[in-house]
Every structure is written in C-alpha cells, then in structure tokens.
C-alpha cells in the first residue's frame, strides 16, 4: 500500500534571510514523508557562517531599523498582515506540514493553521491593551516603568507541531518589538520555510529570518552567537539543558518548554463516558506526539477493569492510516527512528513486569510508512520505564490507584511536571486534588484547553519560564525605570 503525497514540496529547502536563500555551507539532509518513508526533499544545512549572517540581519533590523520603535498601531497592522497571510495560505501550509510530519491534514487545516493565524491576532490584541506604570511615591518625582524590546530572539521549534508552536514564538517576539531568527527541526522544515518566505513579504527587511539544519550544528551555532539576546526553545529536556548551558555563557535569558509525562487521573466519581473520551483524546490526538499528552492514565481501582476494557475496545477501533483521508484519526509517526523507539517501550514494559493491553505493533499492512497501532500497557509500577520516560507516541500507560492521596503521589512521582488531568464530578475531590499536583497546568474534566492569556509551562524538568500573554510580555521585553523630577530638585553640592 502507498499513499499520495499531500503536495509536491520544493526539491531543496534552504534558510531565508532578507528574502534570499541563506548561505548554507553545511551538509545535505533528507526530508521524508512519514506515510510512505520516501524522501521528498533535501534540506541545505546552514553552518556557523550562515547562521551568523542571519543573526546579523536580525541585529541590523533591530539596531538600525524602525521595527523596535514602531508605534503600537503600526505593529498591530503588521501582526494582522501576518495573520491574513496565513489564512490566505492555509491549504498550502497545511499540506507542507503534513508532508513532513505525517499529521492528519484535516486537523492541520482546521486546528494548527487556524491557531497559527490566531497567535498573531492574540498578540495584536494583547499589545493593544498593554498598560504602563508610573509612581509618585517620592514627592517631586515622577517615575515611569516602560517595557522595551530586548533585541534578537533565537526561536527553536520541535517537529511535532512545527507551525502551531513556532508561530506562538514568532508572534510574541515580534509583537513586543524584537527581531527573530527561527530554527525549525531538520525533520520538518517545509511549512515553516514557506511560512517565513510569505511573512518576509509583509514584514520589514531582517525582522524575521530562518536557518535550517541539525540542532547540534545550526541550532547550537544560533544559541551561542553573541548577537542573540533571547532564546525561546520548545523540545526535549536533554536538548533544553544543552541550550540553557550554552545561552548561560552569554547570560542570555531562556524560556524552555520541555517534555512531559502527564498523569490523567480518573476517579470513580467522574462521568465515565466523558473521561474515556478525554483519555483517548489525551493520548491519541496529534498522533500521540505532544508534550501535554495524558500519557499516564491513573484510574481508581473500583472502575479500573471496566474503564480499561472500554479503552482497549475503542483504541482497537481507532482509524490509523492515510493522513489525507478525512476519517483518519491517527497518522504515521514522525520518523523511522522515532517509531522504533516508541515500539521499543512495549518490550521495556514487559521486561519491567507490565503487560500489553492493546496495539504494540507496526501496521505493516499500511506499507513502508511509520504507522503503529494505538497502544496501551498496564505498568507493573510507576517506576517502570513506560511510566517514567516520555514516549511521545500513541502509547498510554495505565496504573490503578485506591485513594486520592495515592493518585496524587503517583502523579507527582516523575521528573516532569507539565500538565495534570483530573476527572471527577465530585467537587471536594477536585478541590482536594488539584492544589497538590506538581505541574504547571491542571485540566479538570477537559483535555487540552489552552487559554493563551494564561501561562503555559512546566514544573521540574518540564520547563523554565512560561508562554502566554503576560509571561511572554515579561520575557520578550526589558523593563526600564525612568525617574524625572517635577521641579529642579535640591542637589548635594560636592566640592562647592
């Protein structure tokens, strides 16, 4: 079996600086369509020199260009132009994203691209309401606090939802007057390359640039460049450590949106049908490749067997296949190596004393693509690798619990702390549980509700800093305190 390509991508993908191809200078990297395993494009890697040129372009746009000093009204116009550009090109961008990620096209069109456009609208609205501060605490003086753009932002995006995640960073960086250099994952460069090409047509020269290549080469060169003032990273925890260490040498502030191993706690007092839908959505949407997945499903023992039985039945019926088909629910995983890693956790679960509940195999009937059956295991304990490691695929790990305290203890017994889910219609249970959960986000009786004004980010190794309205404003601006006397003040006259 083979599947049609969503779009014929350009044969070669390059970075883009000031509307022209970046210098490259590195090796050629293949880009594959995950649904067939076929190479569909070649990426030119940007080496240190090419990265430096992109940073210099962003630097010049910041240091000499009008961008940082633009009026709010003009910047809102520019953000709105970015939004309209995305909306006018949803189909092409979604198809390019599908071709590199294997995510379901219908979802990319309806959610990811719409969200990408909304990211620009959100920050346009946010800056239209931004308020300043002034103080007159000391008589005869007016002190104002203004927020000013920081400079050049290095924006590093992962492969699991490239456009949706990168546009949050781009929109925020630009809204607060910074210029930017974006580095997508080398596996999924196509939609972001096209997006930046389109946005460069509506933005002033140098404001937004893109470099491409491997993280260890292009990404590392970008983070280490002395012309970079900020780093915003979404990706794995180990990569986050490396990036923060490198940025730390230049004393450059970072936000880190890292991994997760989120507990989805289902009490007997929950609406079991809704909790089941929520658990399935929590682990199988976006092909299971999301930091916020509810990947550890903790179910109260008195409903455990029934809940797991129904989950298995539904998981076995999830439609896996062609990302272009409207009824597909789960597409292929992002790469061959990633698929093998995800499937490797079935053996790890067994070795650690757990048991396979459903799935656990490659869907060879679907050809050479990286398809697996939606999978669930019963862990022997929360110490198992399938309960501790981020698997990042359509792979749920089930664990029973008896009391709310036990559920919280299991939920918190992880190096991560991104999201927790709680399902219960008993208010005291919800109120007793949520404050004890060590995660940056708690969703009660709903999966994945992202409120952009609210901070999003993780405790522990799930992140440093937050993304969201005020959190982004704090990160992407410097605060400046200016004090002016309202009349000439009496000065001490040294040496008079």
The active-site residue out of 257, 300, 390, 467 is 257
Instruction: Write phi, then psi, for 488 (nearest 5 degrees).
Output: -55, 120
Q: Does residue 180 interact with ligand NDP by CB under 6 A?
A: no
* Pattern 204-233, ligand NDP, x by CB under 6 A: ----------xxx--xx--x----------
Helix axes 90-101, 190-202, angle to 10 degrees: 150
Exactly one of 102, 227, 235, 282 binds ligand NDP (CB under 6 A); that residue is 235
Round to whole Å and give the CA distance between 174 and 195: 15
* Residue 120: C-alpha distances to residues 49, 129, 147, 302, 481 (Å): 31, 15, 20, 47, 28
Question: Which of positions 280-299 make contact with ligand NDP (CB under 6 A)?
Answer: 291
Q: CB-wise, 212 or 429, nearer to ligand NDP?
A: 212
* Pattern 462-491, ligand NDP, x by CB under 6 A: -x----------------------------
Helix axes 469-476, 114-128, angle to 10 degrees: 70
Which strand ranges, in their side-by-side order, compose the sheet holding 141-149?
A: 133-135, 141-149, 477-485
Q: Does residue 418 interact with ligand NDP by CB under 6 A?
A: yes
Number of residues that bind ligand NDP (CB under 6 A): 33
Q: Does residue 26 interact with ligand NDP by CB under 6 A?
A: no
Q: CB-wise, 382 or 439, nearer to ligand NDP?
A: 439
* Residue 1: C-alpha distances to residues 283, 367, 427 (Å): 26, 5, 50
Exactly one of 36, 119, 160, 414 binds ligand NDP (CB under 6 A); that residue is 160
To the query of whether residue 257 is one of the catalytic residues in this protein, the response is yes
Q: CB-wise, 290 or 424, nearer to ligand NDP?
A: 290
Chain position whose Cβ is nearest to ligand NDP: 215
Each as own residue / partner, the long-range contacts of residues 428-434 (CB below 8 Å, 24 or more positions apart, any chain) are 429/267, 429/269, 429/404, 432/404, 433/265, 433/404, 433/407, 433/408
Q: Does residue 243 interact with ligand NDP by CB under 6 A?
A: yes
Question: Which of positions 308-347 make contact with ligand NDP (CB under 6 A)?
Answer: none
Q: Does residue 247 interact with ligand NDP by CB under 6 A?
A: no
Round to whole Å and give the CA distance between 380 and 265: 17
Q: Does residue 70 interact with ligand NDP by CB under 6 A?
A: no
Q: What is the CA radius of gyration of the chain?
A: 24
Q: Does residue 440 interact with ligand NDP by CB under 6 A?
A: no
State both tokens at 25: 């200078």
To the query of whether residue 291 is one of the catalytic residues in this protein, the response is yes
Exactly one of 182, 203, 228, 258 binds ligand NDP (CB under 6 A); that residue is 258
State both tokens at 249: 């040498």
Exactly one of 58, 93, 99, 156 binds ligand NDP (CB under 6 A); that residue is 156
The active-site residue out of 254, 291, 386, 472 is 291
Among 374, 369, 371, 338, which residue's Cα sits nearest to residue 356? 374
* Pattern 442-461, ligand NDP, x by CB under 6 A: ----------------x---
- What is the helix (H) or strand (E) element at residue 412, kind and residue range? helix 404-412
Where in the sequence numbering do the catalytic residues fall? 257, 291
């Amino acid at each position: 079996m083979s599947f049609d390509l969503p779009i014929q991508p350009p044969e070669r993908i390059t970075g883009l600086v000031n509307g022209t191809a970046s210098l490259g200078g590195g090796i050629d990297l293949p880009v594959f369509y995950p649904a067939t395993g076929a190479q569909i494009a070649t990426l030119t890697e940007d080496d240190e020199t090419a990265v430096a040129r992109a940073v210099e372009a962003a630097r010049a746009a910041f240091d000499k260009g009008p961008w940082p000093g633009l009026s709010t009204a003009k910047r809102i116009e520019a953000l709105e132009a970015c939004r309209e550009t995305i909306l006018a090109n949803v189909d092409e961008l979604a198809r390019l994203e599908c071709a590199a990620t294997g995510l379901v096209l219908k979802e990319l069109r309806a959610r990811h691209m719409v969200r990408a456009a909304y990211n620009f609208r959100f920050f346009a609205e946010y800056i239209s309401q931004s308020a300043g501060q002034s103080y007159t605490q000391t008589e005869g003086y007016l002190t104002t606090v203004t927020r000013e753009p920081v400079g050049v932002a290095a924006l590093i995006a992962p492969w699991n939802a490239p456009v949706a995640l990168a546009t949050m960073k781009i929109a925020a960086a630009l809204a607060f007057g910074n210029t930017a250099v974006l580095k997508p994952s080398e596996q999924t460069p196509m939609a972001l390359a096209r997006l930046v090409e389109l946005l460069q047509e509506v933005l002033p020269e140098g404001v937004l640039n893109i470099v491409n290549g491997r993280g260890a080469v292009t990404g590392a060169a970008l983070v280490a460049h002395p012309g970079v003032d900020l780093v915003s990273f979404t990706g794995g925890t180990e990569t986050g450590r490396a990036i923060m260490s490198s940025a730390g040498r230049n004393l450059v502030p970072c936000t880190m949106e890292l991994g997760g191993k989120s507990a989805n706690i289902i009490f007997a007092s929950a609406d079991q049908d809704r909790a089941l839908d929520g658990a399935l959505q929590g682990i199988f949407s976006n092909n299971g490749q999301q930091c916020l997945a509810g990947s550890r499903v903790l179910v109260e023992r008195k409903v455990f067997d029934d809940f797991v039985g129904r989950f298995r039945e539904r998981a076995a019926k999830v439609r896996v296949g062609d990302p272009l088909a409207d009824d597909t629910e789960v597409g292929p995983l992002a790469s061959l190596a990633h698929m093998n890693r995800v499937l490797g956790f079935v053996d790890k679960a067994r070795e650690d004393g757990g048991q396979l509940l459903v799935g656990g195999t490659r869907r060879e009937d679907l050809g050479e693509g990286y398809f697996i059956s939606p999978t669930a295991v019963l862990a022997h304990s929360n110490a198992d690798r399938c309960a501790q490691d981020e698997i990042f695929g359509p792979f749920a790990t089930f664990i029973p619990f008896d009391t709310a305290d036990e559920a919280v203890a299991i939920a918190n017994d992880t190096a991560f702390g991104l999201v927790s889910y709680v399902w219960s219609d008993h208010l005291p249970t919800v109120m007793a549980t949520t404050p004890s959960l060590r995660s940056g986000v708690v969703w009660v009786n709903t999966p994945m509700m992202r409120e952009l004004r609210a901070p999003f980010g993780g405790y522990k190794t799930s992140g440093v800093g937050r993304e969201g309205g005020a959190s982004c404003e704090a990160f992407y601006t410097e605060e400046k305190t200016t004090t002016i006397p309202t009349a000439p003040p009496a000065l001490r006259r040294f040496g008079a």
